[in-house]
């Protein structure tokens, strides 16, 4: 019976192990770059900007199509239910009628009439049309840059969420080690209490510390779940899907990062926001030219050809000959006076152009501020990280020495507990500094326009 139970337990353990492997195999794994690439393809904000770019292409086609030949066909069938009468002098029908005779009511027209025609219109010259073609190409450029801008924003959000989840996981690992270490100390202290070497109060103090660590561990676990939820949201992924982050913050080479970010100079043109404003300035200039082009004459031509007929019965209408007609027209429109409408439109467009230029100068100042702020933040982050790294090492040594003193009877239980608390606080500060350094790294990359490139 015992052997059967052991076999059954072994089979059950194996099944659980295989199921865990299967679940693990189904989880998607992502590096930071892979997470960003996934988000670029699936984030809804990026998709929305891409739809705007598609709409821009349709708008360009609309502008181009307005200069192509416009052809329309028309067919009309009319039933003159009551034919209108025209009043004519009496002598129109009877030359011998008295001049004072009442007018004669005469019907002009037939009961049924029909016509079929086709018209072709062609724009020959229009200043607004040619300006519109240039604006259409610029509009395409703006739509493309807006897509890139949305990708940069998504890359920033995904990278920060990725680092947040990783740092939280590392904190959880450290807390697990702390719980295990303090629990071992509690077990040793309990044995010493049972042997009469220490008081029960020493055991109780360690139990309180373990309870605090467990509570903090639960908070960190909740933070991990929140960080993963935020990351999947930014990636455009289902929140129920399981993912694994393969990049490890422990693998970061701090000295290499320091050398990578030693140059804090920023080129305005490398920032997509600046490039977008540059394109908006081009569009504002073209809008101004388009209004001014309204002062120029426009020239177009049209040609129409058709047939018509009229009879008093439907069979006669379609059974008799239809007569053809044709017209060719050249249309020249010369603006003379529009009540100063275009004058005030030009003033509005000039103001819009000046605003874009001001926004560009404001963005230059903002980029300078952001780059300097990011440079200062990352310097502080590196310095703080170095300090916290040393503090962790020192706190770890204090814990080691205090435990030796306690076991040898020359130290107190409170000294060990305080050392453990200081060690945990140093580790917490270290991960906080590490997270600040990673966020400062992202902010500086964004300020320099190097965070994401198509």
DSSP 206-244: HHHHHHHHHHHHHHHHHHHHHHHHHHHHHHT--TTS-EE
Tokens of 398: 């204090």
Cα separation, 101 vs 87, whole angstroms: 12
The residue among 138, 117, 143, 128 whose CA lies nearest residue 66 is: 128
Mean pLDDT of the chain: 85
Which band of pLDDT confidence, cut at 50, 70 and 90, is reported for residue 261?
low
Asked if the model's pLDDT at residue 188 lies above 60, the reply is: yes
Which pLDDT belongs to residue 264?
Answer: 65
Task: Give the mean model confidence (pLDDT) for residues 276-301.
Answer: 91
User: pLDDT grade, residue 23 (50/70/90)?
Assistant: very low
Nearest in space to 147 (alpha carbons), one of 48, 219, 267, 66: 48
| pTM exceeds 0.85 for this model | no
- Extract long-range pairs of 41-49: CB within 8 Å, 24+ residues apart: 41/236, 42/235, 42/236, 42/237, 43/150, 43/154, 43/234, 43/235, 43/236, 44/236, 45/150, 45/153, 45/154, 46/147, 46/150, 46/151, 46/154, 46/236, 47/236, 48/150, 49/146, 49/147, 49/149, 49/150
In this prediction, residue 425 has a pLDDT band, given cuts at 50, 70 and 90, of confident
122 within 8 A of 69, measured Cβ to Cβ? yes
Residue 194: what pLDDT?
A: 82
Average pLDDT of span 339-360: 92
What pLDDT band is residue 12 in, cutting at 50, 70 and 90?
A: very low
Determine the pLDDT at residue 177: 86
Secondary structure (3-state) at 199: coil
Residue 299: is its pLDDT beyond 70?
A: yes
Provide the pLDDT for residue 5.
46
Assess whether pLDDT exceeds 60 at residue 68. Answer: yes
pLDDT tens digits for range 76-102: 999 888 888 888 887 777 777 777 788
Confidence category of residue 26, pLDDT binned at 50, 70, 90: low
CA distance 150 to 44: 10
Is 179 in a helix, a strand, or coil? helix
For the cut 90, the answer to whether the pLDDT of residue 201 exceeds it is: no
Q: What is the pLDDT averaged over residues 176-205?
A: 84
Phi-psi category of residue 231: left, alpha or beta, with phi > 0 → left and psi -120 to 50 → alpha: alpha
CB 202 within 8 A of CB 413: yes
- Report d(CA 151, CA 454) in Å as an integer: 9
């Amino acid at each position: 019976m015992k052997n059967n139970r052991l076999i059954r337990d072994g089979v059950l353990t194996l099944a659980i192990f295989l199921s865990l492997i299967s679940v693990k195999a189904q989880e998607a794994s992502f590096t930071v770059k892979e997470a960003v690439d996934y988000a670029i393809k699936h984030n809804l904000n990026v998709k929305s900007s891409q739809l705007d770019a598609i709409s821009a292409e349709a708008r360009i086609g609309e502008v181009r199509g307005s200069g192509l030949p416009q052809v329309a066909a028309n067919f009309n069938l009319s039933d003159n239910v009551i034919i209108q009468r025209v009043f004519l002098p009496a002598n129109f029908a009877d030359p011998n009628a008295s001049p004072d005779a009442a007018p004669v009511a005469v019907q002009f027209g037939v009961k049924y009439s029909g016509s079929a025609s086709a018209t072709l219109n062609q724009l020959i010259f229009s200043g607004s049309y040619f300006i519109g073609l240039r604006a259409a190409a610029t509009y395409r450029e703006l739509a493309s840059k807006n897509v890139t801008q949305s990708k940069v924003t998504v890359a920033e959000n995904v990278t920060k969420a990725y680092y947040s989840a990783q740092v939280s996981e590392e904190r959880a690992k450290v807390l697990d080690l702390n719980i295990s270490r303090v629990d071992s100390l509690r077990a040793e202290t309990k044995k010493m209490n049972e042997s009469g070497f220490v008081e029960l109060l020493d055991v109780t103090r360690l139990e309180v510390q373990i309870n605090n660590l467990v509570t903090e561990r639960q908070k960190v676990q909740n933070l991990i779940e929140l960080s993963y939820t935020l990351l999947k949201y930014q990636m455009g992924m289902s929140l129920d899907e399981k993912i694994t982050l393969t990049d490890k913050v422990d693998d970061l080479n701090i000295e290499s990062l320091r050398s990578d970010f030693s140059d804090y100079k920023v080129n305005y043109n490398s920032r997509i926001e600046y490039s977008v404003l540059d394109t908006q300035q081009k569009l504002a200039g073209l809008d101004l030219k388009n209004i001014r082009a309204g002062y120029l004459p426009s020239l177009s031509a049209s040609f129409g050809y058709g047939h018509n007929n009229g009879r008093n019965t439907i069979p006669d209408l379609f059974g008799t000959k239809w007569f053809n007609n044709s017209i060719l027209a050249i249309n020249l429109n010369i603006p003379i006076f529009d009540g100063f409408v275009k004058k005030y439109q030009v003033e509005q467009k000039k103001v819009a152009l000046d605003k874009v230029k001001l926004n560009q100068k404001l963005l230059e100042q903002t980029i300078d501020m952001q780059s300097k702020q990011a440079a200062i933040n990352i310097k502080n982050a590196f310095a703080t990280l170095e300090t916290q790294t040393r503090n962790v090492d020192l706190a770890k040594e204090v814990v080691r020495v205090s435990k030796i003193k306690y076991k040898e009877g020359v130290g107190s239980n409170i000294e060990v507990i305080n050392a453990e608390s200081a060690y945990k606080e140093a580790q917490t500060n270290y991960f906080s500094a590490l997270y600040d350094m990673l966020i400062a790294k992202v902010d500086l990359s964004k300020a320099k326009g190097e965070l994401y490139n198509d």
